[in-house]
Chain A
Amino acid sequence: ETGVTQTPRHLVMGMTNKKSLKCEQHLGHNAMYWYKQSAKKPLELMFVYNFKEQTENNSVPSRFSPECPNSSHLFLHLHTLQPEDSALYLCASSLIGGSGGETQYFGPGTRLLVL
């Protein structure tokens, strides 16, 4: 597989459930990102990882917990979510330090519904 993949593509969970979103990039990039996309809102950057180290956390509630075990994989662990957390969660990657490093490549997203 090529590019940025995300699993699952769709997820329905109750407010007391614990689930995880997975992202994998096959592009040799060294930075990975989680975004939240809600209707009629700008893409919201949640977390940034450079070389597996978290470099940005945009005041995201602690019920979202990211994990980056290596530069190719990124997880978003979810627990005790609220209905307003329902959204499309997008993963992206980029090559920092390379030419065109600002270009972020996005996965197809996980459509999350919290009941």
Chain B
Amino acid sequence: QQQVKQSPQSLIVQKGGISIINCAYENTAFDYFPWYQQFPGKGPALLIAIRPDVSEKKEGRFTISFNKSAKQFSLHIMDSQPGDSATYFCAASIGGYSTLTFGKGTMLLVSP
């Protein structure tokens, strides 16, 4: 019930391409869905987050798409750059309490 399933495990995208990472959840009580980005040797850092009252949120080249009925959300990275190469984690939590349930992560490599 608490699990968040993330795919793919790894992803290679050419520079300028679109990177897409997907997550699915079961617990309908989740109402906060952040994405974290982690570079080697660093801790995860919040990239972008969404709540279920909207279906899409965009910040620069990063967009979250949210499908409440399918219980899925995804991260789209437009015009992917080599500097975007990192591990990306989706997560979910129940509002008012900050315990996050994380996906397993996706290692993204953007080739020059």
Q: CB within 8 Å of B: which residues of A?
A: 4, 31, 40-43, 45, 48, 56, 90, 92, 94, 96, 101-109
Asked if B43 CB lies within 8 Å of chain A CBs, one says yes
**Alpha-carbon distance between A92 and B34 when the two chains are bound, in angstroms:** 15
Dominant SS at the B interface? loop
B99 touches A48 (CB 8 A): yes
- Which residues on A sit within 8 Å (CB–CB) of B95? 102
Interchain CB contact (< 8 A) of A104 among B98, B103, B104, B105: B98
B41 touches A108 (CB 8 A): yes
Given contacts A40-B104, A42-B104, A48-B99, 8 further A-B contacts (CB under 8 A): A42-B102, A42-B105, A90-B43, A94-B98, A102-B100, A103-B46, A104-B46, A106-B44
A-B contact count (CB 8 A): 52
Measured CB to CB, the closest approach of chain B to A57, in angstroms, equals 12
Instruction: Please give me the residue from chain A that is nearest to B3 by CB atom.
Output: A42
Residues in B70-112 with C-beta less than 8 Å from chain A = 89, 93, 95, 97-105
Asked if B18 CB lies within 8 Å of chain A CBs, one says no
**Alpha-carbon distance between A101 and B45 when the two chains are bound, in angstroms:** 15
**Alpha-carbon distance between A41 and B104 when the two chains are bound, in angstroms:** 5
A56 touches B99 (CB 8 A): yes
Instruction: Please give me the residue from chain B that is nearest to A96 by CB atom.
Output: B98
Dominant SS at the A interface? loop
Instruction: Please give me the residue from chain A that is nearest to B44 by CB atom.
Output: A106
Measured CB to CB, the closest approach of chain B to A98, in angstroms, equals 11
Of B46, B95, B98, chain A has the most CB atoms within 10 Å of the CB of: B98
Of B89, B95, B99, chain A has the most CB atoms within 10 Å of the CB of: B99
**Alpha-carbon distance between A45 and B99 when the two chains are bound, in angstroms:** 8
Asked if B32 CB lies within 8 Å of chain A CBs, one says yes
**Alpha-carbon distance between A24 and B105 when the two chains are bound, in angstroms:** 26
A43 touches B44 (CB 8 A): yes
B43 touches A103 (CB 8 A): no
**Alpha-carbon distance between A105 and B102 when the two chains are bound, in angstroms:** 14
- Which residues on B sit within 8 Å (CB–CB) of A48? 99
Measured CB to CB, the closest approach of chain A to B72, in angstroms, equals 17
Instruction: Please give me the residue from chain B that is nearest to A58 by CB atom.
Output: B99
